[in-house]
Every structure is written in structure tokens, then in C-alpha cells.
């Protein structure tokens, strides 16, 4: 899965409050919200922005910043609504188009995300953001060639952006261009060796090459940098299954599912676990659910067929 960083931008005001006018009150609430959003207290930040919006329903900055809080709390429809309202007040609101495009992406509205990417490219042709968003949209639609071209264009505009290198490496991984993916990860590491997704993707490349122990070591480096990412534990769980460490693998997979129950890859991995344990019924249950939702997820069809024929998978 590609790295998709939400580099949120909230507007900060520095003001001298000499009286308690409505403008001063709404700005004070905005500033309090900004403090809370920096502390990652998104519910409290949202409350402050709502106080500001009660004073001025068209307070664009508070509207946009509240959208950020909804986005960070995974309430994508409300985030989209706030960004859309902000855009209705300022049709060239670039940051709002970018954030709304990310919210559309997370909400599964990929074509709307691409529309915002095109608008952003029109508004800021010298920036990489619109092309980055465009690449993410095409990746979600599995238009990998288009995604690769978008990330290439973005990197031509911003050659020091680690996220772009990791995302392009991810697309090359999907296209089985493993050497090209590895080169991009080496460049990304030189720019920012503290980016956990570099090592997670290296682990995926090692797994593809059947270097399962190396895969575990790479993903554990990712976990040491960012211990809160569910996909890292899911990947380690899969690698442990292929090393014959079934119980340890299941622990990682279950932890990942607890953090993100929507991850089809984790459900696939749980199906693989049950197939390796010889529990045909549970294996079919999990693998069939994943296959019905996305039959192109690697290994799903293979292990579903094994389970349905009641064979014992070797993990090869």
C-alpha cells in the first residue's frame, strides 16, 4: 500500500486583541483550535472552530480547519462538506482542493479526487501537489501506468520530496519493477532515513523475492520508527506465516485488524493462516470475503482454491 501523507495546513493568525469585538472572538477561537490541532486533540479543536463558526458562519479559515479535524478523525463526508463550503467562498482555494481530494480518496470517491487533482494542477501548475494527488487517484483505480506518469511529473517539480519517491516505488512494486522500486527507496532514504514506509516497502520487495527473514527484519525497522501503523504489523504477520511462525503471525494480523478492520489484506492473511493450520471452513470464510470484494489481491485466489480443495498449503 502506498504512502499517502496528509500534510495538513491549518491557518494561523497572530493578532493583538485590544477589544472583544466579534472578529476578535472568532479569531480567538480559531487560535485555540489551532493549538489543539497541533496537540492532535482533534475533537477539542473541532469544538473551538465550531465556536468561531457560530459567530461567523462564513469564517472560511475556521471552516477549512474544521475540515482538517474531520479528516484526521476519518469522518470523510463531513470533511468533504467543510472543504466544499470553503471552496464555495473562494473558488481558487488551493489547500481546500488538495485536502478535499484526499478526503474523496479516503472516502472511495476516486473520480472526484481526480477532478480536484486536475483543478489543482490548473491553479498551481508549478507545484507537485496536484500531480501527487492525481497519482494517488490513479493508483486507487489501479491505473498504474497513469499513476507512474503522475508521480514522474511530480518528482520533476519537487526532487526532494520523500513521499513522491516512496509512492513511485510502490507503483513500480505493483508493476514488478523491483529494481526500479529499490532505487527510489535508496534515494528516499538519503533524503529522510527516518521515513518508516521506506523500510516497509523494502520488506514487501524482500517478500516478493521470497527472502522472508529479510522481509521481517525490514518491517521491524519500520515498526521501530512508527509503532502505530497497522499495515506494518499485518505485513510482519504474513512474513511470519511463511516462516512457519503461525501463532506469532496470527497475533500480528489480529493486532492489525483491531487497528483497521477494513484492511482486506489483513483478512486475506487471516485466511492464509487458517489454511496453513488446516481449518478449511474458516480459511474459505475469510478468503472468499476478500475475493468477492477484490479478486486481484495477490495470493487470495491461490489460497482460496487450496482451501476449497482441502489441500494443505506449504507456503511456497
Distance CA 40, CA 228 (A): 15
Long-range contacts of 105-108 (CB under 8 A, 24+ apart): 105/4, 105/133, 105/136, 105/137, 105/140, 106/71, 106/74, 106/76, 107/76, 107/77, 107/80
> Average per-residue pLDDT in the chain?
92
The H or E element spanning position 232 is helix 230-242
Nine cell digits for residue 241 = 506465516
User: pLDDT digits over 30-46, tens only?
Assistant: 999 999 999 999 999 99
Residue 298 CB partners (closer than 8 Å, separation 6+): none
Q: Is the pLDDT of residue 15 over 70?
A: no
Q: What percent of the chain has pLDDT over 70?
A: 92
Give the other-Cβ count within 10 Å of 238's Cβ: 28
* Spatial CA neighbour of 290 closest among 255, 316, 265, 260: 265
Helix (H/G/I), strand (E/B), else coil: 126 = coil
pLDDT of residue 313 exceeding 60, the answer is: no
Q: Of the candidates 164, 160, 107, which has an alpha carbon nearest to the alpha carbon of residue 134?
A: 164
Give the tens place of pLDDT for each residue, 83-139: 999 999 999 999 999 999 999 999 999 999 999 999 999 999 999 999 999 999 999
Please state the rounded mean pLDDT for residues 168-194: 97
Find the distance separating the first CA and the last CA of the chain, reported in whole Å: 23
Give the contacts of 48 (CB within 8 A, at least 6 positions apart).
Answer: 29, 30, 32, 33, 36
197-211 pLDDT, tens digit each: 999 999 999 999 999
Handedness of CA 105, 109, 112, 114 (dihedral sign): positive
Is pLDDT at 17 greater than 80 in this prediction? no
pLDDT at 19: 53
Which pLDDT belongs to residue 4? 55
Residue with cell 525497522: 221
Q: How far apart are CA 300 and CA 307, in angstroms?
A: 11
Single pTM value for the model: 0.86
User: Could you give the CA distance from residue 176 to residue 154 in angstroms, rounded to a whole number?
Assistant: 21
Secondary structure percentages of the chain, helix, strand, coil, to 5: 70, 0, 30
**CA–CA dist 100, 155 (Å, integer):** 22
All residues at 6 or more sequence positions from 12 whose CB lies less than 8 Å from its CB, including other chains: 31, 34
Angle between helical axes of 60-72 and 76-89 (0-180°, round to 10): 160
Decide which of 277 and 1 is more confident: 277
Q: Is 41 left (phi over 0), alpha (psi -120 to 50) or beta?
A: beta
Reference 116, options 132, 130, 135; nearest CA is 130
Phi and psi (nearest 5°) for 130? -65, -40
Q: What's the pLDDT band for 3 if we cut at 50, 70, 90?
A: low
Furthest C-alpha separation in the chain: 78
Q: What is the CA radius of gyration of the chain?
A: 22
pLDDT interval class at 24 (50, 70, 90): confident
pLDDT in tens, 252-278: 999 999 998 889 999 999 999 999 999
Amino acid at each position: 500500500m502506498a504512502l499517502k501523507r496528509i500534510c495538513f495546513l491549518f491557518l494561523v493568525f497572530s493578532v493583538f486583541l485590544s477589544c472583544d469585538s466579534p472578529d476578535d472572538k472568532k479569531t480567538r477561537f480559531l487560535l485555540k483550535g489551532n493549538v489543539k490541532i497541533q496537540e492532535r486533540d482533534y475533537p477539542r479543536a473541532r469544538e473551538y472552530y465550531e465556536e468561531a463558526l457560530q459567530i461567523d458562519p462564513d469564517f472560511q479559515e475556521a471552516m477549512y480547519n474544521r475540515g482538517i479535524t474531520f479528516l484526521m478523525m476519518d469522518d470523510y463526508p463531513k470533511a468533504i462538506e467543510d472543504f466544499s463550503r470553503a471552496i464555495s467562498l473562494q473558488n481558487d482555494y488551493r489547500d481546500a482542493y488538495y485536502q478535499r481530494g484526499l478526503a474523496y480518496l479516503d472516502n472511495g470517491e476516486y473520480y472526484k479526487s481526480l477532478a480536484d487533482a486536475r483543478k489543482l494542477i490548473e491553479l498551481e501548475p508549478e507545484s507537485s501537489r496536484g500531480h501527487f494527488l492525481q497519482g494517488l487517484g490513479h493508483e486507487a483505480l489501479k491505473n498504474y501506468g497513469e499513476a507512474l506518469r503522475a508521480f514522474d511529473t511530480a518528482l520533476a517539480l519537487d526532487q526532494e520530496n520523500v513521499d513522491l519517491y516512496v509512492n513511485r516505488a510502490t507503483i513500480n512494486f505493483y508493476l514488478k519493477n523491483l529494481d526500479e522500486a529499490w532505487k527510489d527507496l535508496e534515494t528516499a532514504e538519503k533524503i529522510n532515513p527516518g521515513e518508516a514506509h521506506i523500510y516497509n516497502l523494502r520488506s514487501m520487495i524482500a517478500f516478493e523475492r521470497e527472502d522472508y527473514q529479510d522481509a521481517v527484519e525490514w518491517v521491524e525497522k519500520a515498526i521501530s520508527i512508527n509503532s502505530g501503523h497497522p499495515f506494518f504489523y499485518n505485513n510482519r504477520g504474513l512474513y511470519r506465516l511463511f516462516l512457519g511462525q503461525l501463532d506469532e503471525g496470527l497475533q500480528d494480523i489480529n493486532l492489525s485488524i483491531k487497528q483497521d478492520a477494513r484492511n482486506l489484506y489483513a483478512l486475506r492473511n487471516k485466511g492464509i493462516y487458517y489454511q496453513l493450520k488446516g481449518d478449511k471452513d474458516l480459511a474459505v470464510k475469510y478468503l472468499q470475503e476478500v475475493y468477492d470484494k477484490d479478486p486481484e489481491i495477490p495470493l487470495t485466489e491461490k489460497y482460496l482454491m487450496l482451501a476449497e480443495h482441502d489441500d494443505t498449503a506449504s507456503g511456497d
